[in-house]
Structure 1
Amino acid sequence: MSTVKPVHRKLRVVSNKRLASDHYLLELEVDENISLLPGQFLQLRLEDSIQFLRRPFSIFDCENKIIKILYKLRGNVTSLMSKLKKSDLVDVIFPLGNHFPQPEKGKVVLVSGGTGFAPLHFLVKELLNNKNLTLEFLIGGKGREVEAFKNFLPSAVSVKIATENGSAGEKGLVTNLIADIEGWIYSAGPIAMLKAVYEKIKV
C-alpha cells in the first residue's frame, strides 16, 4: 500500500501535447515534493466543466515536480482535456492505488495495450535501476501511435510492437508476441487483452 496519504490539489498545466492520432500527453506542475510510485494513479476533474465524476488516469511519469498523464480521446471529458492550455488549472486527488511488486533479478516482460503503456512506462524507469534485470517491452495498439510510445523507452529495453492494422511492427494482437513465460510479467490494457495474457501464461 502507498505510504503517502492522498492529497487534493489544483495543479497547473505545463503542457498538453498531441503525440499521435488521438493520444495526448498532459503535464501538470506540483508545488511540493510528493512521492509517486509506479502503479499508482490520480483522479482528475476539470475546472468550470459539467463533469460531475472524477476520471482516473494512470501516472505515466513523475520527475522534477511534473506529473505526466497519457490519455486517449474517448468521450466528452478527454475531448475537453485536449483543449487544456498552459497555466490552466485541473482539480486532482493523488496519489491513489498501490505500488507494483518487483523482482530482484531475472527477466521481466511488460505487455501493454493502448494507454496501458502509461503505468508500465513509469515502472520501467524504476526497474532500470536494478542492473540484475533484463527488460522486454511488448507494445500493442490499433495503429502507428505505438511508435510514439516506443520513443519514450531507453535503448536498454528490448522492444517489440504489434498493431491491429499492421501499420507498425507485427500485424495482430500484442499477445501474439508473448513467447517466453519465464520470469516476471506485467500487463496493463483492455480487459480482453489482460484475459488473453492470462491464458498465455497460466500453468
Structure 2
Amino acid sequence: MSATRDRPDGCGPVGADVVSRPVVESRTFGEWTLVSIDAPTVASVARPGQFVMLAVPGAVFALRRPLSIHRVRGDRIALLIERRGAGTRRLADMAAGAQVELSGPLGNGFDIGSSGSALLVAGGVGVAPLQFLADELRARRIPSWTFVGLRGETHLPLLAALDLPAQTVATEDGALGIHGTVVDALEASPASAAAVEKGAVVYGCGPLPMLFALRDWASVHGLTGYGSLEAHMACGTGACHGCVVATTRGYLRVCADGPVLPLEIIGEAIVTAGGAR
C-alpha cells in the first residue's frame, strides 16, 4: 500500500490507503487493551504522535476510530484501547488472527529535533502516544522524565502496560503516588524541578483541562512544548472539518493540523471529548 500522501504545503501526511491487517496479540490491563497489529508499511514510516483510523469490526455504518500509535516494534504497531462504548469494546475484543481495516499513519507528530531533554506528561489514556515518544527519546539517548496522572485505584492497571522512564504517578483519589492531578505532581516533584533546570521540552497528552493547566505551568517556568489533542473524528484527513479547535492561530483541524500542536497556541475552547488517543 501507499502509506501516506504529502500535504501540498509540505507539513506532513494527510491520508493513507485503507488496508486489512491481522491482529497478532491482545493483552488486557483493567479497562484497557493493548492490541498489536502486523502493519509493516505503517510501522516503517510512523512517527511518535501520529495515529491510525480503525474500522469497527461488524459495524458497517459506524465511523472509524482514531487511535494513537502506542508503540512500534519491527513490523508491528501497538494500540492502547480504552473500553468506552460499543465501538471501542469491539476493537478491544479483537483476538489474534482477526483482520482489521485501518489507514495511517495520519496527522502530525511530536517535534523532537531540538530536544536536549524532555518532560512527558500524560493524563489517563493520554499515555498512549507518549510511549512511542519515550521509545524514540530513549533510542536517541535524550534524557527524559515522565509524569502520569490517573483518576484513581481502578485505573492503576494501566501502569502495567507502560515502559516509561523516571515515572512519577499522581492519582486524584490518592491511591498511588502524589495525591492530586498530574500538574499538581509537577508542582510538587523534585523531578520536574530538575527538568525545568535543564530547560526540558514539554510533551503532553490528555484532556483539554489538563493541557490548559500544562500550558500555563510550562509558560510560568519558561519551557516550550507540545500537546497532543483528543477529538472525535470522521475522516481523519482534514476533509470534513469535524474536529476543528480554536487556537491563537485561528481554527485548526485536530486530525490534519494536529493532533500535536505547540502548547502555547492551544486556546480555551471546547472540542468534542474523546477521539485520538
2:215 matched to 1:198? Answer: yes
**Secondary structure at 2:139 match in 1:** coil
CA deviation after TM superposition for structure 1 residue 130, in Å: 2.6
CA deviation after TM superposition for structure 1 residue 81, in Å: 1.7
CA contact (8 A) 1:7 1:95 kept: no
* Alpha-carbon distance between aligned partners in 1 of 2:106 and 2:180, rounded to the nearest angstrom: 33
| TM-score for both structures, normalised by structure 1 | 0.88
2:19 matched to 1:37? Answer: no
**Secondary structure at 2:176 match in 1:** coil
Deviation by residue 1:108-145 (Cα, 9 ceiling, x = unmatched): 111001111011110111111233x3210001111344
Match of 2:95 in 1: 85
Matches within 5 A, 1:125-136: 125-131=135-141, 133-136=142-145
**1:143 paired residue among 127, 141, 152:** 152
Match of 1:108 in 2: 118
User: Higher mean Cα deviation, 101-110 or 22-31?
Assistant: 101-110
Q: Give the counterpart letter for 1:114 in structure 2.
A: G
Structure 2's unaligned 5+ residue stretches are 1-10, 188-192, 221-277
CA deviation after TM superposition for structure 1 residue 29, in Å: 1.0
CA contact (8 A) 1:117 1:188 kept: yes
Deviation by residue 1:51-83 (Cα, 9 ceiling, x = unmatched): 521110000011221110011111110121232
* Alpha-carbon distance between aligned partners in 1 of 2:104 and 2:209, rounded to the nearest angstrom: 28
Identity value in percent: 28
**2:185 paired residue among 174, 177, 183:** 177
* Alpha-carbon distance between aligned partners in 2 of 1:17 and 1:119, rounded to the nearest angstrom: 18
> Could you list the runs of 4 or more consecutive aligned residues of structure 1 that deviate by over 6 angstroms after TM superposition?
none
| TM-score for both structures, normalised by structure 2 | 0.66
**1:186 paired residue among 173, 186, 203:** 203
Please state which structure has a larger fraction of its residues in strand. Answer: 1
Q: Give the counterpart letter for 2:76 in structure 1.
A: I
CA contact (8 A) 2:137 2:143 kept: no
* Alpha-carbon distance between aligned partners in 2 of 1:86 and 1:140, rounded to the nearest angstrom: 31
**1:26 paired residue among 35, 44, 47:** 35
Structure 1's unaligned 5+ residue stretches are none
Matches within 5 A, 1:118-129: 118-129=128-139
Higher relative contact order by CA 8 Å / sep ≥ 6: 1 or 2? Answer: 1
CA contact (8 A) 2:40 2:74 kept: no
CA contact (8 A) 1:13 1:87 kept: yes
Q: Give the counterpart letter for 1:56 in structure 2.
A: P
* Alpha-carbon distance between aligned partners in 2 of 1:24 and 1:6, rounded to the nearest angstrom: 25
CA deviation after TM superposition for structure 1 residue 189, in Å: 0.6
Count of aligned positions:
199
CA contact (8 A) 2:40 2:76 kept: no
Is the alpha carbon distance of 1:189 and 1:76 closer, same or farther for their aligned partners in structure 2, counting shifts above 3 Å?
same
